[in-house]
């Protein structure tokens, strides 16, 4: 029987075959967009979420992954990574400081990564063909205000900040470019912020700011109270490097920014998350809107480690798990104006994370190397990207080897569907 895509479920049922390709059975589903926070089953067919309901029969699926005791969430959305690898450039984010997305995404439950300004309006096409179009991970990008992005040449030359070119590039790649980035600026005045904002206004896309070196004139109050628009993203919000927290008190400029609708993002990184900033901020209820890693070769081998490790820190700082999941799925999806992501809507592409919440004695390092103890840790058990199992720590979707058909044709987990 030949089935049109929209009729595939009815067709399968009529022909007596299992309706679903995969059933994630018995997990505790947390889908903040849809206010789901209870034990349910998630059925997947044709790479899409087909059904989220209680007691979906195992016989209705070709494969069943048991998820009892685990949490089933939308695939995690990490909106601050550096993945412009493979250029051969030394000591630059546009090169050896970046990582390849698929090597670090799925093993942490991440299905969507947003590269935060590693490429700029000049070298974005190279980044796209070299990395984005080849990755199984969904990679989106914030375009740097500087032409060559985070190259060894730095991000301080106002002559290289060109909002017209940024706008043109964003309009030429609307499927991938989700906004703009100003970062690491340590010069005079506001050309980096203003240039990114001009492109943001021309395209109605958000700007993410790494505020670089703040000065008396170039300060947090002007940035958050005047320059940024509602929906623009302030990353590295617990760095303390731009007076986000002063003498244990959250800077009133941060509260003003929040009231104006500025988004606050963790952006942990190698030098942007410190317990002596985050802990008092949390005590004063200044929580992040989104959790992100600032993944690069340095941060991942130091305190940051992975998306689930950063989420674990937020959990141990006192946020409920449902909020941690919201800040890692639905919130970041909305921040980048991709509401089709970060949820388990029926019909959505089946990007799913199955997470274990481990209990025990754990230690978590900040960017200075200071440890804070915690009693819970989130670990990615299984990750699905567009319905394919791309990470399966304990082989939950696998068949026992004694009954496995080794003669069946097999494909690698990282193979991209063209
Ligand atoms: Zn970064």
Gap from CA of 222 to ligand 1 centroid (Å): 22
Residue 36 contacts residue 25 (beta carbons within 8 Å): no
Gap from CA of 271 to ligand 1 centroid (Å): 10
Gap from CA of 382 to ligand 1 centroid (Å): 27
Gap from CA of 235 to ligand 1 centroid (Å): 8
Gap from CA of 299 to ligand 1 centroid (Å): 10
Average pLDDT, stretch 380-386? Answer: 98
pLDDT for res 25: 98
Residues written for the chain: 418
What's the pLDDT band for 10 if we cut at 50, 70, 90?
Answer: low
Extract the tokens encoding 88. Answer: 């051969």
Whether 412 has a pLDDT exceeding 80, the answer reads no
Whether 227 has a pLDDT exceeding 50, the answer reads yes
User: Can you tell me the distance from the alpha carbon of 49 to that of 210, in angstroms, rounded to the nearest whole number?
Assistant: 36
Gap from CA of 27 to ligand 1 centroid (Å): 34
pLDDT for res 411: 64
User: Can you tell me the distance from the alpha carbon of 401 to that of 411, in angstroms, rounded to the nearest whole number?
Assistant: 17
Gap from CA of 11 to ligand 1 centroid (Å): 47
What's the pLDDT band for 1 if we cut at 50, 70, 90?
Answer: very low
Whether 403 has a pLDDT exceeding 70, the answer reads yes
Gap from CA of 399 to ligand 1 centroid (Å): 40
Query: Which pTM value belongs to this model?
Result: 0.94
> 179's torsion region: left (phi>0), alpha (psi -120 to 50) or beta?
left
Average pLDDT, stretch 301-330? Answer: 98
46-50, 54-58, 239-243, 410-414: lowest mean pLDDT where?
410-414
Gap from CA of 100 to ligand 1 centroid (Å): 15
Q: What is the pLDDT of residues 190-217, one digit of tens each?
A: 999 999 999 999 999 999 999 998 998 9
Average pLDDT, stretch 390-398? Answer: 97
Beta bridge partner(s), residue 37: 30
Gap from CA of 394 to ligand 1 centroid (Å): 32
CA 175 to chain centre: 17
User: Can you tell me the distance from the alpha carbon of 179 to that of 353, in angstroms, rounded to the nearest whole number?
Assistant: 25
What's the pLDDT band for 326 if we cut at 50, 70, 90?
Answer: very high
pLDDT for res 14: 54
Gap from CA of 168 to ligand 1 centroid (Å): 23
Residue 43: phi and psi, rounded to 5, are -105, 140
Average pLDDT, stretch 368-392? Answer: 98
Beta bridge partner(s), residue 384: 352, 389
Gap from CA of 270 to ligand 1 centroid (Å): 9
**CATH superfamily ID and name for 5-73+350-392:** Urease, subunit C, domain 1 (2.30.40.10)
Gap from CA of 371 to ligand 1 centroid (Å): 22
Average pLDDT, stretch 48-61? Answer: 98
Gap from CA of 294 to ligand 1 centroid (Å): 5
Gap from CA of 24 to ligand 1 centroid (Å): 34
Mean pLDDT score of the chain: 94
Gap from CA of 241 to ligand 1 centroid (Å): 14
Gap from CA of 80 to ligand 1 centroid (Å): 6
Quickly tell me which residue has 């959505």 as its tokens: 348
Gap from CA of 302 to ligand 1 centroid (Å): 15
Quickly tell me which residue has 């209870």 as its tokens: 38
What's the pLDDT band for 418 if we cut at 50, 70, 90?
Answer: very low
Gap from CA of 236 to ligand 1 centroid (Å): 8
Average pLDDT, stretch 101-113? Answer: 98
Gap from CA of 55 to ligand 1 centroid (Å): 43
Gap from CA of 15 to ligand 1 centroid (Å): 51
Task: Give Rg (Cα) of the chain.
Answer: 22
Gap from CA of 340 to ligand 1 centroid (Å): 25
Gap from CA of 296 to ligand 1 centroid (Å): 8
Gap from CA of 262 to ligand 1 centroid (Å): 18
Closest CA to 73 of 328, 398, 394: 328
Gap from CA of 306 to ligand 1 centroid (Å): 14
User: Can you tell me the distance from the alpha carbon of 243 to that of 366, in angstroms, rounded to the nearest whole number?
Assistant: 18
Q: What is the architecture, at CATH level 2, of domain 75-335? A: Alpha-Beta Barrel (3.20)
In terms of DSSP bridges, do strands 233-234 and 207-209 run parallel, antiparallel, or are they unpaired? parallel
Average pLDDT, stretch 113-130? Answer: 98
Gap from CA of 292 to ligand 1 centroid (Å): 10
- CA dist list (Å): 366 to 79, 169, 276, 358: 20, 36, 9, 20
Gap from CA of 150 to ligand 1 centroid (Å): 9
Any idea where the domains of the chain sit in the sequence? 5-73+350-392, 75-335
Q: Do domains 5-73+350-392 and 75-335 have the same CATH topology?
A: no
What's the pLDDT band for 38 if we cut at 50, 70, 90?
Answer: very high
């Amino acid at each position: 029987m030949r089935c049109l895509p929209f009729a595939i479920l009815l067709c399968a049922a009529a022909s007596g075959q299992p309706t679903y390709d995969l059933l994630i059975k018995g997990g505790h589903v947390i889908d903040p967009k849809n206010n789901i926070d209870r034990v349910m089953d998630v059925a997947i067919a044709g790479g899409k979420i087909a059904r989220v309901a209680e007691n979906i029969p195992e016989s209705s699926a070709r494969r069943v992954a048991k998820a009892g005791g685990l949490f089933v969430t939308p695939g995690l959305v990490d909106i601050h990574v550096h993945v412009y690898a493979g250029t051969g450039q030394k000591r630059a984010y546009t090169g050896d400081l970046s990582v390849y997305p698929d090597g670090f995404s799925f093993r942490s439950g991440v299905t969507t990564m947003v590269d935060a300004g590693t490429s700029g309006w000049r070298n974005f096409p190279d980044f796209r063909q070299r990395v984005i179009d080849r990755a199984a991970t969904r990679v989106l990008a914030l375009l740097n205000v500087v032409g060559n992005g985070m190259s060894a040449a730095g991000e301080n030359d106002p002559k290289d900040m060109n909002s017209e070119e940024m706008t043109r590039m964003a309009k030429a790649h609307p499927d991938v470019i989700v906004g703009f980035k100003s970062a690491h600026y340590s010069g005079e005045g506001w050309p980096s912020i203003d240039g990114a904002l001009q492109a943001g206004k021309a395209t109605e896309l958000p700007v993410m700011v790494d505020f670089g070196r703040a000065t008396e004139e170039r300060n947090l109050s002007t940035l958050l109270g005047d320059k940024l628009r509602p929906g623009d993203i302030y990353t590295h919000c617990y760095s303390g490097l731009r007076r986000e927290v002063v003498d244990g008190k959250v800077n009133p400029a941060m509260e003003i920014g929040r009231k104006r609708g500025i988004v606050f993002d963790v952006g942990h990184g190698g030098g942007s998350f410190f317990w002596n900033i985050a802990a008092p901020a949390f005590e004063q209820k200044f929580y992040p809107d989104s959790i992100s890693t600032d993944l690069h070769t340095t941060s991942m081998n130091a305190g940051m480690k992975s998306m689930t490790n950063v989420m674990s820190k937020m959990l141990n700082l006192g946020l409920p798990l449902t909020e941690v999941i919201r800040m890692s799925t639905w919130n970041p999806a909305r921040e980048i104006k991709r509401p089709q992501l970060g949820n388990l809507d029926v019909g959505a592409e089946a990007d799913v994370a199955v997470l274990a919440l481990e209990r025990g004695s754990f230690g978590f390092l900040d960017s200075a190397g200071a440890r804070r103890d915690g009693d819970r840790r989130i670990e990615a058990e299984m990750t699905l990207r567009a319905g394919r199992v791309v990470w399966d720590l304990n082989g939950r979707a696998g068949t026992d080897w004694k009954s496995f058909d080794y003669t069946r044709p097999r494909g690698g987990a990282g193979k991209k569907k063209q």
